[in-house]
Amino acid sequence: MTILEQVQTIFRDVFDDDALIISASTSAKDIEDWDSLTHIQLVTRIEKAFKVRFTVSEVTKLKVVGDLITLIEAKTA
């Protein structure tokens, strides 16, 4: 599974939507339930799944799914 696919699984679970498709350009305005509450859930779940830890500064800079993927790649490289 690619990182995007793994992230998509987490998104589907958090947003409770098995048909959800995300891409690198997906942002909070594309997903109705993506608010500050679900955002922290996504971050927590991704941190757990990839065994990484994001800094406060990194989390505040995440705008689109692509940012997230780049960050995971950098941390797991």
Query: Pick from 4, 52, 59, 69: which binds another protein (CB under 8 A)?
Result: 59
Query: Pick from 23, 44, 61, 76: which binds another protein (CB under 8 A)?
Result: 44
**Rounded to whole angstroms, how far apart are CA atoms 72 and 30?**
21
Q: In which residue are the tokens 């950098």 written?
A: 74
Asked whether position 36 contacts another protein by CB under 8 A, the answer is yes
Asked whether position 25 contacts another protein by CB under 8 A, the answer is no
- 64 has which bridge partners? 27
Choices 1-9, 21-29, 40-48, 68-76; region in contact with another protein by CB under 8 A: 40-48
Contact 13, 45 (CB under 8 A): yes
